[in-house]
Structure 1
Amino acid sequence: MLKKFLIERRSWILLFLFTQLLLLFIAYIDSSIPINSIIYIVFLSFMIFMIFLAVRYNKETPFYKSLKEWDGSLDLSEIDEAVAPFEKIVEHRIKDQTERQTEVTTANRIALEQERDDLLSWIHEVKTPLTAMHLIIERLEDDKIKAQLTYEWLRIHLLLDQQLHQKRISFIENDLHVEKIALEPLVFKEIKNLQSWCMQKGIGFEVDLKADEVLSDEKWLAFIIRQLLTNAVKYSEESDIIIKSKKDHDQTFLEVQDFGRGIDPKDLPRIFDKGFTSTTHPDRAATGMGLYLAKKAAESLLIQIHVRSQPGRGTIFALTFPKPNEFVNLTRM
């Protein structure tokens, strides 16, 4: 900041030095002027000028120092109060722009929340006829048509569920309720929801839950597992999907392993990116949102998701749950 201050005041400093040199030059060429007295005056002037610079530096820089350290947020309390007239002009403009930005941000947030509420309301309304449709399908006697309609119904149901959680994900911190959850009923409920699809593809499940309890949010954990199971079923053919959990010290691990087509190595770093779909097996029906949302929800729950895959040999998604003491800050929300 000192360097910038001197650069800012360089014209005044150069003017002062020029006048002092001019004074010495005049005393040098004019013998009637005592040179020793002039040198003494220049020395005193220089000392006074240095003290003056130090005083002005301490008075003028605090405002700009705080402005430099300001993170650009809407909180102006981090900026020191302006003293000089030019500082007041800067402060006034910053406050004016910040107030405008606050108004725009508030309006955008209200509009976004309204849009989210309208969409959530629409999704809940759609679920009513969807439930009635499922009951009608269940009463069909033709097993082939019943299986086809059930599969299409399940696709719509999963897409609506994904859209529902996509709109909620930005407000997930306000929607968390961390508690002890039994894994077995949660996992079997998600398997049951995919039963018709699995029967159609000849897919079974092998479940081995050595660790049956985790600390998490039930509905968001169910959503994460649902996305992993949906992907496993979608990209598998007539094979078993293995779901197993274990506990090592205070940490719980859950794995979902399929023996489907696997993921190409070049796609692995991008599978959790928003909107990403496979480059080797393009699927026009895929939205590229499932794993992205699962990753976002997992981060809020302090769950780590790791993936291992070999093309043609299957994929393993592993969830690493946090230790209980890591939830201290999360449970205070």
Structure 2
Amino acid sequence: MSLKAEKQWLVLLLLTDLFFAFLAWLTGADSFGSIIVIIFLFTAFIVLAGYRIDRMKQKKQMEMLQLFLNSPDEEAEQRLLATVDDSWHSIIRMASAQIREQSQTIKDKQLELQNYQEFIEAWTHEIKTPLSLATLILANHREEMSPYVYNRMEHVRSTINNDVERILYYARLQSSHVDYKFMKMNLSDCVQECLEDFRAISDEKKIDVQLNLSSFQIISDKKVLAFMLSQLFSNAFKYTASDNGVVCVVSWSDTQDDGKIHLAVRDNGKGVPPEDMPFLFDKGFTGSHPDRKNATGMGLYLVKKYAEALSVEVNIEPISTSDKGFGIELLFPHVI
């Protein structure tokens, strides 16, 4: 209770005091002044005492309400009911029933989500066994296949593996805790290892892969970084020009930007419409470009999310030629 909220009662008390003061004046008593002082002092005491009692009552109600909101069980409900007027009982009981129902629904959904995540992670690990077998068979029987057949099979294997990795990393992203193993590594070596998985598609589509890499040392999670690079390479090889396609990977250090290490993955495809640029990293966004009608819109979203976890900046690189080509840039912090 605040004095402002109980203004009408204060006005009534004041009018009552004035009435009794008027009666005392009518009596013509010699002690009129003393009576007036006593009346107003007594009223002030009653107001302050009532205010104090009401504040203690409100504090108790808020404590019981907080306990009830933290754990809306029947015991907490009864404690809250004991501190409020009877007029609030029906409303509190109705709200309590709804809160408990919604809490149970949330718990059920969380359990379903946890089971789904565990299933996805188990499935992705199981599917890696036949993928590893396919990799082994392709490696051991390469001489028995024509270059065309081998490249097609290797491309299919790499695509499936990339899709499986994307599912796995998306499932991990939903986990409450993700373990990262940071280590010192050579960025150039990591890039070239990742590009090996795209050799078949580059040979088949006759894509010119141009590397201009310097030997920079970074600290990051190697597996997660390899996944991020694979998503960038997958997009670059997929959307590069159909004729005379070029994928360019460049690294450099910017002394004007706290010595940050830049890694850019560029292609000479049709690029991205300007209206799609602000949404490229949104989950599920595929854009209006005809070449992206079969895209999932998850690759760049996952790159952005895991980049934030690794303290890596991700930028869309401006291309000098209008409406031609596209580039994504990773910025790694300079570590002494």
Q: Same fold (TM over 0.5)?
A: yes
- Name the structure 2 match of 1:129: 130
2:328 is equivalent to residue 314 of structure 1: no
Superposed CA offset, 1:235-270 (max 9, x none): 112113123132645533222222222121111110
Measured after TM superposition, the shift of residue 134 of structure 1 is 4.0
| Counterpart contact for 1:261–1:314, Cα < 8 Å | yes
After superposition, the Cα gap between the structure-2 partners of 1:186 and 1:66, relative to the gap in structure 1 and judged at 3 Å, is: farther
- Name the structure 2 match of 1:180: 184
**Which residue identity does 1:318 align to in structure 2?**
E
How many residue pairs match? The answer is 312
Distance 1:283 1:299 in 2: 25
- Name the structure 1 match of 2:301: 292
Distance 1:176 1:97 in 2: 40
2:31 is equivalent to residue 39 of structure 1: no
SS in 1 for 2:156: helix
Measured after TM superposition, the shift of residue 146 of structure 1 is 3.1
Measured after TM superposition, the shift of residue 312 of structure 1 is 3.0
| Counterpart contact for 1:176–1:217, Cα < 8 Å | yes
- Name the structure 1 match of 2:75: none
- Name the structure 2 match of 1:111: 112
Equivalent position to 1:255, from 264, 271, 277:
264
**Which residue identity does 2:248 align to in structure 1?**
I
SS in 1 for 2:175: helix
| Counterpart contact for 2:247–2:265, Cα < 8 Å | no
User: Structure 2, unaligned stretches of length 5 or more?
Assistant: 73-78
- Name the structure 1 match of 2:17: 20
Distance 2:204 2:23 in 1: 105
**Which residue identity does 1:166 align to in structure 2?**
Y
TM-score (norm 1): 0.77
User: Structure 1, unaligned stretches of length 5 or more?
Assistant: 326-333
Q: Percent identity?
A: 26
2:253 is equivalent to residue 246 of structure 1: yes
Measured after TM superposition, the shift of residue 32 of structure 1 is 2.5
2:246 is equivalent to residue 235 of structure 1: no
After superposition, the Cα gap between the structure-2 partners of 1:122 and 1:42, relative to the gap in structure 1 and judged at 3 Å, is: same
Equivalent position to 1:214, from 212, 218, 242:
218
1:52-63 → structure 2 map (5 Å cutoff): 52=49, 55-56=52-53, 59-60=56-57, 62=59
- Name the structure 1 match of 2:45: 48
Distance 2:213 2:70 in 1: 49
**Which residue identity does 2:146 align to in structure 1?**
D
After superposition, the Cα gap between the structure-2 partners of 1:85 and 1:62, relative to the gap in structure 1 and judged at 3 Å, is: closer
Distance 1:324 1:100 in 2: 51
| Counterpart contact for 2:151–2:204, Cα < 8 Å | yes
| Counterpart contact for 2:314–2:330, Cα < 8 Å | yes
1:142-157 → structure 2 map (5 Å cutoff): 142-157=146-161
After superposition, the Cα gap between the structure-2 partners of 1:281 and 1:25, relative to the gap in structure 1 and judged at 3 Å, is: farther
Superposed CA offset, 1:87-127 (max 9, x none): 9x99x989999888776655544432322121121122222
SS in 1 for 2:178: helix
**RMSD in angstroms over aligned alpha carbons?**
3.8
SS in 1 for 2:2: helix
Equivalent position to 1:85, from 75, 80, 83:
83
